[in-house]
Structure 1
């Protein structure tokens, strides 16, 4: 097996992240990897927002506004919990699917391309020695969160990629048996 296959077989999401976050050179290289995702017609149907430092506070406020919109009147303690989600890591990269009209490339294919791009980004950061955790949840679909992050009409968040230095390793996650998700056709 190649080193790429070995790396993939050992890849894991890391929820416990701390400073330092990836530096500019590491990020540049990771985004170059993200741009290598399969992309029918070279539409580049993705873009990213890098959020760190004091901007994480602003992201926390955007999330709190979105949560209040979803839940109605909410107590301050719960809103503080939501705000603090933006501080689970020293850097959050927001992956955005940005489909473009094309007669031969349906929107769903472009969203899948954006997801592949985000995966490549995360894998590159892990290869550079950082931990990553791809998170979504109901707030990525909230119109006030989308507006607060400056998304344009037709764009969607494919996830928040939390990244930083792994502070403590988590236990290994059991992986499914191949027979649970692989079959030969015709069946």
Structure 2
């Protein structure tokens, strides 16, 4: 049918990635493309934050703090951001607007995250969108430097692909069960 459809159907979540990652310049080019998602009133109610190196360690500490875990459980949680060399935080920046409700601004931010995941995948990177119970915890928000009107939607874990770790094809879609046409 088309290249876009083929790219969407080929996309997989890559839970295991190598240490390779796109540069900030390469990532910015993809973010510019992702920024073309529908955006009522052109508010751009989103931003992305690239976390590499020590920023991933700081995120791990913030997750452990948010959890209240101690010892081995805290250490295990703190290590999760080290699963990929690049984490891209997807942030919704919601502002009061007379014509654009908060949910629509959050949908725009989520659209940017989804488009960016597709673009990264299409560019040959392994990508997996991760969230968790501490995504919106104040300690995690502080670590990202979020403003009061901002909240985290999750992170794209990004790295190189290993042929040995290629994810299996997704199971059959249930789209027909979720589709309805009205006249």
For the aligned pair, the TM-score class normalised by the smaller chain equals over 0.9
Does residue 83 of structure 1 match 2:78?
A: yes
Tell me the equivalent position of 1:118.
113
Tell me the equivalent position of 2:41.
41
Residue correspondences, number: 181
Tell me, what secondary structure is at the counterpart of 1:141? coil
Tell me the equivalent position of 1:173.
170
Gaps of 5+ in 2: none
1:26 touches 1:125 (CA, 8 Å); kept in 2?
A: no
Superposition CA RMSD, Å: 1.3
Runs of 4+ in 1 over 6 A off after TM superposition: none
TM-score, normalised by the number of residues in structure 2: 0.94
Deviations 1:91-147 (A, max 9, x none): 001000001221101110000000001111111111111011001111112122112
What CA distance in whole angstroms lies between the structure 2 residues aligned with 1:178 and 1:8? 14
Q: Which deviates more from structure 2 when the two are superposed, residues 81-90 or residues 174-183? A: 174-183
Does residue 18 of structure 1 match 2:15?
A: no
Does residue 109 of structure 1 match 2:104?
A: yes
1:148 shift after superposition: 2.4
Tell me the equivalent position of 1:150.
145
Tell me, what secondary structure is at the counterpart of 2:103? helix
Gaps of 5+ in 1: 69-73
Cα separation, partners in 2 of 1:145 and 1:41, compared to 1, 3 Å: same
